[in-house]
């Protein structure tokens, strides 16, 4: 034998600790993969909610009773860094001629002034509505920001994207009919 002494056997507690560590890591990864990140269930009817536009004009029901084109709703808050980084998606019509979407944004800020400031400072081109009493957030189960909701012309939710959207989300929105 080279190098002197034979390899030491691992103690039973060290092996048990390793197994427990791997099990804990696997459980945490499964949690991240399968957790509920909020938003309504795909295929469910979109609940109607009365929201106030930021310009203080008459409120409106979202989604409207009749949709002629699919509607993409972005739920955001002024304090949300990911919301600000995803703001370039707010005007899909400028980015791609294939876009067949109507769009609007819903601010879940606590204060109307914060929502107005975000609209002024960020390049948000879609209409912005204010969720004053958090009824929209409650009815739609919003837990993560930003959340994007794609509603088809029949008023059903066809896609829910939480967090920063990726290329597949963008493609799905453009392909919406």
Taken as a whole, the chain contains a residue count of 177
CATH fold of 49-175, please?
Glutaredoxin (3.40.30)
Report how far residue 83's alpha carbon sits from residue 95's, in angstroms, rounded to the nearest whole number.
18
DSSP strand pairing (147-151 vs 60-62): unpaired
Q: How high is the pLDDT of residue 154?
A: 93
Quick one: average pLDDT of 17-45? 79
User: Is 38 within 8 Å of 108 (Cβ atoms)?
Assistant: no
* CA quadruple 113, 135, 90, 116: dihedral, nearest 10: -10
**CB within 8 Å of 67: residues ≥ 6 apart:** 102, 151, 152, 153, 154, 155
Q: How high is the pLDDT of residue 45?
A: 94
Q: How high is the pLDDT of residue 18?
A: 87
Q: Reduce the DSSP state of residue 39 to 3 states and report it.
A: coil
Q: How high is the pLDDT of residue 33?
A: 63
Report the chain's mean pLDDT, rounded to a whole number.
85
Q: How high is the pLDDT of residue 140?
A: 95
Per residue in 32-83, pLDDT (tens digit) is: 666 656 788 889 999 999 999 998 778 888 998 889 999 999 999 999 999 9
Report how far residue 31's alpha carbon sits from residue 16's, in angstroms, rounded to the nearest whole number.
22
Quick one: average pLDDT of 131-148? 94
Band (pLDDT 50/70/90 cuts) for residue 9 is confident
Q: How high is the pLDDT of residue 76?
A: 96
Band (pLDDT 50/70/90 cuts) for residue 90 is low
From 24-38, 76-90, 142-156, 160-174, the region with the lowest mean pLDDT:
24-38
Question: What letter would DSSP give residue 125?
Answer: -
Q: How high is the pLDDT of residue 101?
A: 83
Residue 92 has pLDDT above 60, yes or no: no
Q: How high is the pLDDT of residue 39?
A: 80
User: Is 147 within 8 Å of 38 (Cβ atoms)?
Assistant: yes
Band (pLDDT 50/70/90 cuts) for residue 112 is very high
User: Is 52 within 8 Å of 127 (Cβ atoms)?
Assistant: no
Q: Cα-flanking dihedrals φ and ψ of residue 25, to 5°? A: -65, -45
**Angle CA 108–111–114, to nearest 5:** 85
**CB within 8 Å of 31: residues ≥ 6 apart:** none
């Amino acid at each position: 034998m080279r190098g002197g002494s034979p390899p030491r056997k691992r103690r039973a507690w060290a092996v048990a600790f390793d197994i427990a560590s791997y099990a804990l890591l696997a459980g945490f990864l499964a949690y991240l993969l399968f957790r509920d990140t909020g938003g309504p269930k795909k295929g469910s009817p979109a609940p109607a909610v009365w929201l106030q536009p930021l310009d203080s004009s008459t409120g409106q029901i979202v989604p409207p009773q009749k949709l002629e084109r699919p509607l993409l709703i972005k739920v955001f808050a002024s304090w949300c860094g990911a919301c600000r980084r995803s703001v370039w998606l707010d005007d899909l019509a400028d980015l791609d001629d294939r876009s067949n979407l109507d769009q609007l944004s819903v601010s879940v800020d606590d204060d109307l002034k914060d929502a107005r400031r975000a609209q002024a400072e960020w390049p948000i081109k879609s209409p912005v509505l204010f969720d004053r009493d958090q009824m929209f957030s409650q009815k739609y189960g919003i837990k993560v920001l930003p959340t994007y909701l794609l509603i088809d012309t029949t008023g059903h939710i066809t896609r829910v994207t939480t967090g920063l959207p990726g290329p597949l989300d963008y493609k799905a929105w453009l392909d919406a009919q």
